[in-house]
Structure 1
Amino acid sequence: MHQHFTRILPGLLTALVALAVAFALHAAVPALPAMTLAVVLGLLAANLPFTAVWAAGRARPGLDFAGKHLMRAGIVLLGLKVAITEVLGLGWASLLLITAVVLASFAGTYGISRLFRLPQEASLLIATGFSICGASAIGAMAAVRRIRHADTVLPVALVTLCGTLAIGALPLLVHPLNLSAEVFGAWTGASVHDVGQVVATAQTAGPAALGIAVVVKLTRVILLAPMVAAAGLQQRLAAVQPSAAAGTPPEALPPVVPLFVVGFVALVALRSTGWISAGWLDAAAGLQDILLGAALFGLGSAVRIRTLLHTGLRALLAALVAWFLIAALGLGAALLMIQ
């Protein structure tokens, strides 16, 4: 145990220092999201000559630990942002509409990624991140499908980039499209990837937009558990059928729902009771930012720019097309929701 801790400590400390820099830059220039900066700093650490050796050597075990385990801890804490009562307050018609947008976004993004000849696993992760809740959803799907940690890096980079583009692009469209604050908020919640990015985008139109944006977004977040469970079930059936046909025992299978997703659901239930004070919720949100930021730095620090350029251009084009699709679906849903 002690030996394991000494192995991961250099990488964890590196991630925390980088995160402090990301938060400081975000405080100085609020338009730059801290989570995007964490990914960018990770990319720089992996590719600048004087830091690349450190990121690939002494720091690597800790950075991999952050990218995998701190991400999962962040997903668990994400549950404290979701209150079922607020979600149900939208009404059944809106809930069905948001679910339809998530499913259409997932199917559309997966199809677009495959059209651009991206690998099946990368396409699945990009579709999950774009349609549900960004990097957190990618981490959950990768766990249930046993996708290698290294293969989550490009989808996380793409979902972070496109979510950041939304922060700049969507507010510019409010006047040309003649959107009310409520419609803009619903659109942001239905189409922007990460919770933090939704808040950053919606608050440009005031408190009314922010209020509905967060509730719509958290309705999408709730769908993380059933989507991951469905993917886990499909994985098990695919593994069991060939072994049953061959008369051999199946290999050890991952759980249908990983333990950290169970933790996420448990904290959704806890938040929904109303027992947790605002102070504790704020503290948990702050801790979640730290965990997710450190995880994103860890993932970013595994990306070699040469590798990214090799598959990255096709992936970037696929992501931008998917981003336009989800923005269009989200806008349609928002206009139907807010009559």
Structure 2
Amino acid sequence: MSDDPDCQDLTGLPTRPEAEPARASPPAVPRAKPPHPPRSRGTAAAAALVPGLTLVLVLAAASTVVGKAFPLVGGPVTGIVLGVLLAALKKPGARLRPGIGFASKRILQASVVLLGSQLSLAQIVHVGVGSIPVMVGSLVVCLTAAYGIGRWLGIVGDLRTLIGVGTGICGASAIAAAAPVIGAAGVEVAYAVSTIFLFNVAAVLTFPLLGHLLGMSQHSFGLFAGTAVNDTSSVVAAATSYGQTAGDYAVVVKLTRSLMIIPICLGLAWLVRRRDRAAAQGTARPRLQVVKLVPVFLIGFLLMTTANSLGVIPAAAHHGLSELSVFLITVALSATGLSTDLAALRRTGPRPLVLGACLWVVVSVTSLVLQFLTGSL
């Protein structure tokens, strides 16, 4: 007899335990269709740029139309002003930021590369050796004054550098070239461009009167306007109001002056890299590598300038490339305006405007003095 009570029936006889009922097999689940293949990382990144880039392009197109109607203001300045106003009304959300950031950095660099198509070594020969000391001397004095006066006013290094190169070289184009080299913030770019613009307007209104007061010739006034006014539109406005000959010569001087972007950006890149490496290594002497020193977009600028000097770029393409370069600068500065921190702009205060005013006077006086010393006044 089994000792297991569960295996006995009522008669006491052992019985075989009942087998467990077989479990039903689970119902067949229909096989799902394979999902669509995921987008590649590059495609997803490109798609993320579309909303912000669309907004920036629309803003730049509107700014270009306004700039054509009011050449003294120009598209780039209009773009940054409209961008700041839109940012004040409603700050761009996360969906728009990737495209805006791309425009403010990559498109800005592309605009500088295209700027090289307007410059050539032949222009330096055309301007003449006598004009080079005035341009170089004005630039050296301007950058020195920007450093000294800027420190005295307590303005941070990047902002005073941008105002210095903008005043000493070629306004918004020089600021566009220098900003990525030194890693300047968008608010600093916005303030520097606005400051340069204000004194461009002042130059257009006052320089022709000053030229007539001093009895300057067409040639000397063209040199004065080309070295002491910044953006090309303002140079044309100031010089052509004095005379067509002065206007033609001033534009050539202004474009030649733009070549100073090359050595200035190289010098800034060297200083920034030296500072960063010194900060990382304490007091160790930094060892600079030339390949890492030169920004890629500046190499593109040099190649474009060389191609233009060799005649590779046809003359018929110059106007179109110039318009495209200005439009890309407008796109980049519109994006900079949209990403501007207005609170930081207000905290900066009026000191950068004071620096801009001082540098405007310094460059103007230096240009006239150097022209007098070289006999070209």
Match of 1:11 among 17, 27, 52: 52
- The aligned runs of 1:47-58 (5 Å cut-off) are 47-48=88-89, 52-53=90-91, 55-58=92-95
Q: Hey, what's the Cα distance between the residues in 2 that align with 1:294 and 1:161?
A: 20
Bigger fraction of residues in helix = 1
Structure 2: unaligned runs, 5 residues or longer: 1-41
- Deviation digits for residues 251-273 of structure 1, max 9, x if unmatched? 99993221111111111111112
Q: CA RMSD in A?
A: 2.7
> Paired residue for 1:133?
170
Instruction: State the AA in 1 paired with 2:248.
Output: G
> Paired residue for 2:86?
45
1:15 touches 1:63 (CA, 8 Å); kept in 2?
yes
> Paired residue for 1:32?
73
2:64 touches 2:330 (CA, 8 Å); kept in 1?
no
Larger Rg: 2
1:187 touches 1:333 (CA, 8 Å); kept in 2?
no
1:157 touches 1:300 (CA, 8 Å); kept in 2?
no
> Paired residue for 2:227?
190
Deviates more, 1:198-207 or 1:110-119: 198-207
- What is the aligned length? 335
> Paired residue for 2:62?
21
Q: What is the CA-CA distance between 1:21 and the residue it aligns to? A: 1.9
Instruction: State the AA in 1 paired with 2:114.
Output: L
Instruction: State the AA in 2 paired with 1:271.
Output: N
- The aligned runs of 1:319-338 (5 Å cut-off) are 319-335=356-372, 336=374, 338=376
> Paired residue for 1:101?
138
Q: Hey, what's the Cα distance between the residues in 2 that align with 1:240 and 1:47?
A: 38
- The aligned runs of 1:1-339 (5 Å cut-off) are 1-48=42-89, 52-53=90-91, 55-241=92-278, 255-335=292-372, 336=374, 338-339=376-377
Q: Hey, what's the Cα distance between the residues in 2 that align with 1:35 and 1:241?
A: 36
Instruction: State the AA in 1 paired with 2:376.
Output: I
Change (3 A) 1:139 1:176: same
Instruction: State the AA in 2 paired with 1:12.
Output: L
1:106 touches 1:131 (CA, 8 Å); kept in 2?
yes
Change (3 A) 1:247 1:99: closer
Change (3 A) 1:196 1:58: farther
Structure 1: unaligned runs, 5 residues or longer: none
Q: Hey, what's the Cα distance between the residues in 1 that align with 2:61 and 2:279?
A: 49
- Deviation digits for residues 53-93 of structure 1, max 9, x if unmatched? 3x354333222221211111111111111121121233333
Instruction: State the AA in 1 paired with 2:57.
Output: L
Q: With the length of structure 1 as denominator, give the TM-score of the two structures.
A: 0.88
1:80 touches 1:284 (CA, 8 Å); kept in 2?
yes
Change (3 A) 1:254 1:137: farther
Instruction: Give the fraction of aligned pairs with identical amino acids, expressed as a percent.
Output: 29
2:223 touches 2:249 (CA, 8 Å); kept in 1?
yes
